[in-house]
Amino acid sequence: MERAAIIGVGMTKIEANKVRETFADMAWEAVNKALDDAGMGIEDIDNVVTTSNDFWDGRTISCMAVGDASGARAKNVSCVEGDGTFGAFYGLSRALSGSYGTTLVTAHSKGSESVSSLITNAAFDPIYERALGMDMVSASAMQATAYMHRTGTTKEQMAMVSVKNHGNALMNPLAQLPMRISVDDVLSSEMIAEPLHKLDCSPVSDGCCAVIIANESRAQKYRGKPVWIKGVSFMSNAYFLGDRDISRALSLTSAAKKAYDMAGIKDPKKEINVAEVYDAFTYQELLWLEAMGLDDDGKAGASVEKGKFNLRGELPVNPSGGLLSGHPVIAAGLIRIAEAVKQLRGEAGEYQVDGAAKAVAHGVNGLCGQSHCVWVLDRNK
């Protein structure tokens, strides 16, 4: 099978409110940055995949609002609903289909124009859970409690994730919330839903990301450093929270295993140099790392306490600052891919991981991590 690579990435700055920018404005900025990064013109793009969500955008067929700004005029354009990693998965499939050599993938969100509690409440079933007033935060608080009960992870260990990621964001000019904080700062911040404090939760942000994927023959025609896609998979679990063990992430474990197998990775704890994971909440970074085999089950809390996931630690996790430092819903996962690409090209600036050769990027769809998409990227062909 022909291989594929990521040859260009572009991101806007993540902000609380891009009041002077439309969806199309953000897409135009990210797309032009990605084209410049790849040394391409829009005429070199064979097809476009836009990733969006009607609820978050406040309009039906929301993807069409950014199609032209994404360069899809007189080109084949497809739309994916959900996190950007899933849009990139479809874009990869098209680049390898034989019909298209290059695919431009965009993902955008303006959380500032939405009421997140109402939108995420609508994700629950309309008969039982929605009527209880459940939303993403309350469901995640339940998951955090279940995870803490099973593993013995403490609030202090969860708070260390926030300290680490906001601290990393101080070195990332595109991050929304660069902060130098302490564990006490996290634990004294407003309680949102037990056991989650305000600084355990990611903000709802505005931002856009664009990624260009090319098959092997096209990737070698453009300047820059191609980052090779060695493995990718997504898996889903049961919709109803009561039908799965939310203290674990079995769909993520399955997706990661398949992606590792594709990439020929036998021991991810030893072979992966950097990870960009979907840390919408502090506990999720720990839970996802365990589910991906990047730490032993129930041990990630102890590992973060020891500094294992710090920028200069054994396995740097979210050196960009992660979602805790800026969370444009839908775009967040695609940003994880773009940040991993920057690491593997040695272009992450102050938050560059020394010697990064293999990376994992990760995205999530659904309540409490119902669906996961895992990407294994390599700087070497």
* Per-residue tokens: 286: 């720990």
Under the banding of pLDDT at 50, 70 and 90, the label for residue 237 is: very high
229 has which bridge partners? 377
Beta carbons within 8 Å of 267's beta carbon, 6+ residues apart: none
Average pLDDT, the chain: 96
Average pLDDT over residues 95-116: 94
Beta carbons within 8 Å of 248's beta carbon, 6+ residues apart: 150, 287, 291
247: three-class secondary structure by DSSP: coil
Under the banding of pLDDT at 50, 70 and 90, the label for residue 225 is: confident
Query: What is the rounded CA–CA span in Å between residue 359 and residue 2?
Result: 21
| Cα 285 from chain centroid (whole Å) | 11
Domain boundaries, the chain: 4-115+204-219
> Is residue 166's pLDDT more than 80?
yes
Question: What local confidence, expressed as pLDDT, does residue 73 receive?
Answer: 83
**Strand ranges for the chain from DSSP E:** 4-11, 47-52, 76-81, 102-110, 191-193, 196-197, 206-215, 227-236, 274-276, 358-365, 371-378
Average pLDDT over residues 321-339: 98
Under the banding of pLDDT at 50, 70 and 90, the label for residue 5 is: very high
pLDDT tens for each residue of 172-203: 999 999 999 999 999 999 999 999 999 999 99
Through-space distance between the first and last CA atoms of the chain, rounded to whole angstroms: 14
Question: What local confidence, expressed as pLDDT, does residue 1 receive?
Answer: 56
Is the CA virtual torsion 316, 317, 323, 328 positive or negative? positive
Question: What local confidence, expressed as pLDDT, does residue 74 receive?
Answer: 83
Cβ-contact 75, 48 below 8 angstroms: yes
Cβ-contact 277, 288 below 8 angstroms: yes
Average pLDDT over residues 41-62: 91
| pLDDT over 70 percentage in the chain | 99
Question: What local confidence, expressed as pLDDT, does residue 72 receive?
Answer: 84
Q: Out of 67-71, 141-145, 269-273, which region has the weakest mean confidence (pLDDT)?
A: 67-71
CATH superfamily of the 4-115+204-219 domain: Thiolase/Chalcone synthase (3.40.47.10)
> Is residue 61's pLDDT more than 90?
no
pLDDT tens for each residue of 244-274: 999 999 999 999 999 999 999 999 999 999 9
Residues 348-377: b if buried by 16+ CB within 10 A, e if exposed: beebbbeebebbbbbbbbbbbbbbbbbbbb
* Per-residue tokens: 55: 């609820």
Average pLDDT over residues 23-36: 97
